[in-house]
Chains A and B, each alone.
Chain A
């Protein structure tokens, strides 16, 4: 069993839909990172959080440390949000990566 599980693995939605990606982890962590990998391969850091909720534009990340669970939400999704979203808990001085969720937003 992976230390970091994401669901769903693949998600296709219509433009404008509300998107939720879930992450469960079994490792001890200091914080959890959400990353976005573009179709071209580049990786961008979206959020780091260790409690509660953070919001950047249309993206919202939440975490429940006790339940070892985090969610990434996208409101009013747009085709440019199509990417792979990766959950990565930070513990023992390193990131441990989930398998990623491939999101496709159809116009």
Chain B
């Protein structure tokens, strides 16, 4: 009965590879987010989607491409991985993307680039 689930939990890969992280929520929310937490534990928004429509694209390199096939899913594809992409990526969801709605976070995907 996991609310927001991300897969995989860990991802270790070589520089230059392409990889995807999947996110699914079963809360009936219509807004989903991707966040990046760097090595200093600082969280920053990357993307948000509302009803499959891109709302926020926070100056993320074009190598990162989110895809939302439906309201319950927001996947993140990363091309040509670089060392600086090593981080923990969190997916989250909320209702309506409103200020007073809590965001529910997945457990994170730890991406390590060799």
A: contact size bracket? 20 to 34
Number of chain B residues close to chain A: CB under 8 A: 23
Q: Say yes or no for A25: interface residue by CB 8 A criterion.
A: no
A33, B103: Cβ atoms under 8 Å? Answer: yes
Q: Say yes or no for A12: interface residue by CB 8 A criterion.
A: no
Q: Say yes or no for B83: interface residue by CB 8 A criterion.
A: no
Q: Point out the residue from B43, B102, B107 that lies within 8 Å of A48, measured CB to CB.
A: B102
Closest to B107 in A: A42
Tell me, rounded to whole Å, the shortest Cβ–Cβ distance linking B74 to chain A: 15
Contacts of A44 in B (CB 8 A): 105
Tell me, rounded to whole Å, the shortest Cβ–Cβ distance linking A21 to chain B: 15
Q: Mark A34-51, 1 if CB is under 8 A from B, else 0.
A: 000100011111001010
Distance A42 CA – B45 CA, assembled complex (angstroms): 16
A48, B108: Cβ atoms under 8 Å? Answer: no
**Chain A interface (Cβ < 8 Å from any Cβ of B):** 29-31, 33, 37, 41-45, 48, 50, 84, 86, 88, 90-91, 93-97, 99-100
